[in-house]
A and B are shown apart, each in its own frame.
Chain A
Amino acid sequence: MNRILLIARREFMAYAKTVGFWLSLLAFPIFAVLGGALPILMQTSQPIRQVVLIEEGPAAAGLAAAVQDSFACDRERRLENRSEAQEAAAKAAGYAGGTAASEALNRIGGPRMQFVEVPSDLATTPSGEPREALARKYLGDEVPEAQQLDAVVFLTRGEDAPSARVWTRRATDDAVEDVVRAALRDAHRRDVFQTAGIDSSVVSAMEAFRPEITALSPQSASGGEVSFRDRLPGIVGLASGFLLWSLVITGASILLNSVMEEKSNKILEVLLSSASATEMMTGKVLGVAMLTGTVMLVWGGIGAFGLLTSFPQTAVDIGAVLMDGGLIFYFLAYAVGGYLMYAVLFAAIGAFCETPRDAQTLMGPIMMILVVPILVMQMALQTPDAAVVRILSWVPFFTPFLMSARAPSEPPMFEIVGTMVGMFAFTLLMIWLAGRAFRAGALSDVKLSWKSFASAMRGGS
């Protein structure tokens, strides 16, 4: 036992002392802050575009007003959506918090632009090449900064439909173009309906119509209307499945690299003379588990803190979901089984390899296997009892991920017990086989192949 702990501690310290470990520890909070702040930053840092609208010819009369109206309507619609989002945020925060989230939402909107008066020379210059040349001048640096424009829009109306030529300061900026396109489409639609004898107020009313839909299910907490709280267990299950998947990938990869490093540095043989292959593998697996566990705990702590301060009610609901029927213990059991199963396999592969290239022969197919639960887990969220999900849940390689995703939907007890027994039995078999392969690989210089790996598993030393 002492040797196992010594090896585990060395494994933990070897990584905990690296810059990479601290970077990955801080990555989550940094990216969480960046992820939340970036859209707001990008939005608020957008310049307010100075746009002029010029109607060319009497036929174009009213198009400038139509563009301005359309832009104003769009803003109004965005404000409406935002207040709905604010309401949802406040609800999720238990009507007590969420101020910061609401404020953040307030800052998010559509493109920022201001319609300004047409400069007198531009208004009076006859249309055609001289006017276009003047527009180019206002979009460049030839005029004083205060007079510079971001876009000049020439609106015309042909026989069938309105059209526009949009001059912009930057060729890559298509925000004004999008606004004008939408406005002219609306104007054209109104014209067409009016020609057909349909009143524009009817058209507006139809466009504004939003059906009210109430989701109901006998399985909801109220026995009727489905709330976010009812959907939360599924989301928590899926999140747990993905979290476990990333834990397995991260932990097993660290283990693979660690064993490869020991193999290439010729340390494995001397280690094997000091500890048994089982002790070594257990120590390493435990050390890496402590490492990934530390990262997860720190991330979980930061996430829980963020959730409690921003959305306390959701945090309470998630806590309740995890404790409901001991769900968290199922997750832990699947995490232990899944991690052990893959960790020992990766460690055994590492014992045959000195470089990542050596490991590719076996890692390719294993990574392909690991993609399957990612695809099926998403299906498990909506239809946890689909035949393919239920069948694949019995495959030990997939059990930890799929059953984690399915657990909140309360699958039949025989499936829970059966898959868990199967998973742990298979995990024990993997530990035994991987232990033999590990010892054989550590003392061997043979190139890794399926044949050599299978032979090592069969023969041990």
Chain B
Amino acid sequence: MTAALTLESVSKRYGDFQAVRELSFQVEKGQICGFLGPNGAGKTSTLRMILGLQAVTTGSIDILGADDGRKVRDRIGFLPEERGLYKKMTPIDAIAFFGALKGLPQAEGRKRARDLLEQQGLGASRNKKMKELSKGMAQKVQLIAAVVHRPEFVILDEPFSGLDPVNQQGLEAMIRGLAADGATVLFSTHVMQHAERLCDKVVLLARGRKAFEGTVTEARATSPRFLELEGEISSAAVAALPGVSSVDHTGGDEAGVRILKATLAPGAGGQEALKAAFLGGLDVRRFELREPSLHDAFIGLTGDHPDQDTSTKALEASQ
């Protein structure tokens, strides 16, 4: 596969604040890559550097064969984190305008806008003013405006924020559609579930540093599997089971029923622990072997919680 995007030791400094540190990763052509991290991890700064909107402090970026995103801006589609369109424009005019800025002839832009709005169920609203549309509808229009010129590389900054579950599903389908048409998609998010469902590859970022780069399965594999047990059992009894490395009490009721999370040691399968629990006569009413989620992997890899705000935003903004 050929790389559509390569970052090599990219750093970004705002005054005394280091927003991005020695970041290197690659996205292959046609991949959907999730750029994950809590708010303030440096995702937006990185995306802006990729687009050429902000200069790198050190390091280099290669996107679609160019050393500056501005040189290939017509081949890139971008949806910023803070979204908005001209309130008095109609969706069809707005989409055609942004398409035209990317080199798409106006007539073709209007034709594609009509088709795409129809596909997204916005056909009836195409001639309404943007200010008359709901937030979800406006967000869809903006996404269409970002991809109407059929870019080779699509960058979406927190595309799911502010959308309800139905629209989130619709957006996921749209992203899959872009990749199916051959586009490379890089999107940032702090919600791991979207990345788990969509991504061929994820890059985890914490406090400006890369914490992981690989597939979702590889990311999960970095985190230990665990057992969830429920019953009138003690933590000590569970800790004594074979393969269990640690036990956490996660819930229970007044009747003495407890829910315990038993983390397995690397390589342990859980079968031996189950067998030992039965043989030991433990009062286990539920026994589940759980695979770690990307969320668990993120916490394991970075020590941060993906929903927390490790805010560099204020500092980013102040520069």
Contact = CB atoms under 8 A, between A and B. Distances in A.
Given A269-B82, A446-B318, A14 B88 contact: yes
Nearest to B76: A273
B318 A270 contact: no
A266 B84 contact: yes
Interface string B88-103: 1000000001101111
A266 B82 contact: yes
A443 B87 contact: no
Contacts of B76: 273
Contacts of A266: 80, 82-84
B73 interface: yes
B97 A273 contact: no
Interface in A1-40: 2-3, 6-7, 10, 14, 17
Interface residues of A, number: 29
B85 interface: yes
B7 to A, nearest CB: 17
**Among B55, B70, B100, B145, residue most surrounded by chain A Cβ atoms (within 10 Å):** B100
B78 interface: yes
Contacts of A460: 55
Contacts of B84: 265-267, 270
Contacts of A275: 73, 101
Contact of A445 (B51, B83, B317): B317
Given A3-B101, A274-B98, A461 B82 contact: no
A3 B146 CA distance: 16
A272 interface: yes
Contact of A269 (B53, B97, B100): B53
A14 B53 contact: no
A443 B54 contact: yes
Contacts of A102: none
B17 interface: no
Nearest to A6: B100
B319 interface: yes
A271 B73 CA distance: 11
Contacts of B103: 2
Nearest to B80: A269
A444 B317 CA distance: 5
A266 B82 CA distance: 6
A440 B102 CA distance: 22
Contact of B101 (A17, A274, A440): A274
B40 to A, nearest CB: 13
Contact of B80 (A273, A276, A445): A273
A443 B48 contact: yes
Nearest to A442: B53
Nearest to B49: A461
Nearest to B48: A443
Contact of B53 (A7, A10, A262, A461): A461
A445 B319 CA distance: 9
B129 to A, nearest CB: 11
B80 A444 contact: no
Contacts of B73: 273-275
B127 to A, nearest CB: 14
Given A443-B48, A445-B317, A270 B86 contact: no
A461 B55 contact: yes
Contact of A273 (B78, B83, B142): B78
A443 B83 contact: no
Given A265-B85, A444-B319, A270 B78 contact: yes
Interface string B249-265: 00000000000000000
Nearest to B142: A270
A35 B84 CA distance: 44
Nearest to B78: A273
Contacts of B146: 270
A275 B82 CA distance: 18
Contacts of A461: 53-55
Contacts of A459: 319
A272 B86 CA distance: 15
Contacts of A271: 101
Interface string B192-206: 000000000000000
B86 A14 contact: yes
List 5 tightest A-B contacts by C-beta distance, closest first.
A266-B84, A445-B317, A274-B101, A265-B84, A273-B78
Given A14-B86, A14-B88, A461-B53, 9 more contacts: A7-B101, A265-B86, A266-B82, A267-B85, A269-B53, A271-B101, A439-B53, A446-B317, A460-B55
12 contacts: A2-B103, A6-B100, A262-B86, A266-B80, A266-B84, A270-B98, A273-B51, A273-B78, A274-B78, A275-B101, A443-B53, A452-B318
